[in-house]
Amino acid sequence: MAGMTMERRRGPGRPRRAEQRDTHAAIMDAATALFARRGYDAVSLRELAAVAGVDVATVQHHAGTKADLYRACFARVFAAEVEALTGAVAAAHEGLQAGPEEAFARLHALLDVFVDFLERVPETTALWLRRWSEPELHADLDVAYSLPLYRTVEEVLIAAADLGLLVEPSPHIAVRSLVWSVHAHVVSAPSRGDERIEFRAFVHRWLDRMYRAG
């Protein structure tokens, strides 16, 4: 009829989009927690479905195979990490043009953002430590969701070296070593406020003593 809009009806039994999103989120939350705690092989789709409060068919409908779901967990934390780090990486690049003091202040800030993220989303560390404990399995995840972030930070060190602000002949080793150090911190002192403060001071000292001149 003129002047009226017809509401599109859902088919019988068809879930609302909000319900679909809620179901998918529940599955992803359960999968991330289980894979982070126990690794890939020790988790079954049946167990995962039970934790998520759905049946196995629903898990497969929303996420595909167990391998698909495992990869989706890494894609999820990778997207969150990229979102957290992008602004700090860009600020670090910009700070390099302002001289050593500002450059190192921005590098300190980048380190803080990285530490803050892993403390806030500890399942990131748990997922990666489980993955790296079985290096022969799912190595493609490193290529897709680890190395791109490493290279992003390496490029900051390379740019700083090109400007004469520091000297680092092996930026990939420097970044990888720092990443492992932060992961170890998250595992060993997840809720101890004093050590969280001390660790930030430590990574700042590490950066300064490794690279700051004078």
Kindly report the CATH number assigned to the domain that includes residue 38.
1.10.10
The tally of domains found in the chain comes to 2
Query: Which tokens hold the place of 46?
Result: 């049946």
Query: Within this chain, do residues 104 and 200 fall inside the same structural domain, yes or no?
Result: yes
- Residue 198 in any domain: the answer is yes
Query: Within this chain, do residues 92 and 165 fall inside the same structural domain, yes or no?
Result: yes
173 burial class (0-12, 13-18, 19+ CB within 10 angstroms)? Answer: exposed
Query: Within this chain, do residues 53 and 114 fall inside the same structural domain, yes or no?
Result: no
What pLDDT is attached to residue 134?
83
- Residue 90 in any domain: the answer is yes
Task: Quote the domain boundaries for residue 58.
Answer: 15-64
Query: Within this chain, do residues 184 and 91 fall inside the same structural domain, yes or no?
Result: yes
Query: Within this chain, do residues 56 and 89 fall inside the same structural domain, yes or no?
Result: no
Query: Within this chain, do residues 58 and 162 fall inside the same structural domain, yes or no?
Result: no
Spans of the chain, pLDDT less than 70 = 1-21, 189-192, 214
What pLDDT is attached to residue 6?
37
189 in Cβ contact with 196 (< 8 Å): yes
Query: Within this chain, do residues 150 and 199 fall inside the same structural domain, yes or no?
Result: yes
What pLDDT is attached to residue 19?
58
Please name the amino acid found at residue 44. S
- Residue 3 in any domain: the answer is no
CA distance linking residue 105 with residue 59, whole number of Å: 46
51 in Cβ contact with 34 (< 8 Å): yes
CA distance linking residue 52 with residue 80, whole number of Å: 21
Q: Give the Å distances, CA to CA, from 14 to 9, 10, 102, 124, 146.
A: 10, 6, 56, 34, 38
Full-model pTM: 0.84
Query: Within this chain, do residues 94 and 190 fall inside the same structural domain, yes or no?
Result: yes
- Residue 41 in any domain: the answer is yes
What pLDDT is attached to residue 208?
95
Query: Within this chain, do residues 168 and 102 fall inside the same structural domain, yes or no?
Result: yes
